[in-house]
Amino acid sequence: MPKTKPLVVVTRKLPEPIETRMMELFDVRLNLADEGFTRERMIEAVRIADVLVPTVTDRIDKRILDEAGDRFKLIANYGTGVDHIDLKAARERGVTVTNTPDVLTEDTAEMTMALILAVPRRLTEGERIVRDGRWRGWSPTWMLGHRVSGKRLGILGMGRIGQAVARRARAFDMAIHYHNRRRVHPSIEAELEVTYHESLDQMLSRMDIISVHCPHTPATYHLLSERRLKLLSPNAYIVNTARGEIIDEKALVRMLRNREIAGAALDVYENEPAINPKLLQLDNVVVLPHMASSTIEGRTAMGESVLVNIKTFVDGHQPPNRVLPESIGY
């Protein structure tokens, strides 16, 4: 890295305190308009920058990295997920990639729990009825949902967020099960009172609610395929605050429409920001605009983590949150 301040290009507008601190530490090119980078603008950025600070909306593939200048050495991702970055190509070019783990765990778990409650209890459906002026008063048999207490929750991916969801679900007296690429330590299982399923298929067939918390990788693309979705009970619900690509969205829509699955709560989508219009027509679906981590506290903490990663790297040390291709799993 150069002795002068490194040139840092930021692809989206960040919280004001983070941008202010960046300007103090580095030579920064901010995106004050908060408009997503075009491919051409991204190529120009990697040609001139020492450090790029992208977000989940930026696609950084091998062809873009092949255009990078000699001074380009760090991608300090603003976010935990790195499925939008070609990690293998970055490593081959000698570009370090970092992310911001931990800081979004509680925010995402909170939103997940809200969605676990929202779908069976028909919260957004009831809210729409009131707003539309269609409510005609209380009735003992109208708008009946299902309680979550005592239900079986299947967590797909027992990392930081999956564990945080499990802790919250215990407070609702749910029976918590999980499937993970590797079984977690027995002490964690004991603390969370969770049951491990080596077979994802078996877990899916036995759960009342499935909550998705694994990263998007080639191995998890359509992990919840049409075949696996058909294993779910017609009374089961799906909650996804991870990545849309993990679920075969077309199959999910068909099954929700045919009531082969009771309902879904989705914060992420396979082709976002585009959303399958058929999803929007279904009353048994809660849809949110990728906002599970949207808290002031969380976004500020993400920025602080980015600053630490950049400063540590610039000072010639290994950044604390370096991401390697082999480290990504569920």
Is 19 considered catalytic here? no
Alpha-carbon span 128 to 236, nearest angstrom: 23
CB atoms within 10 A of CB 268: 22
Alpha-carbon span 301 to 21, nearest angstrom: 13
**Which residue among 12, 197, 216, 243 is the active-site one?**
243
How is residue 315 annotated by DSSP? Answer: T
Is 272 considered catalytic here? yes
Question: Residue 192's closest CA among 208, 180, 174, 209?
Answer: 174
Distance between the two ends of the chain, CA-based, in angstroms?
34
Is 260 considered catalytic here? no
**Which residue among 170, 290, 304, 322 is the active-site one?**
290
Please return the burial class of 173, using the count of CB atoms within 10 Å of its CB with bins 0-12, 13-18 and 19+: exposed
Q: Where are the strands (E) in the chain, listed by range?
A: 7-10, 27-29, 51-53, 74-76, 96-98, 152-156, 175-179, 194-196, 209-212, 237-240, 263-266, 285-287
**Which residue among 67, 191, 260, 272 is the active-site one?**
272
* Catalytic residue IDs: 243, 272, 290
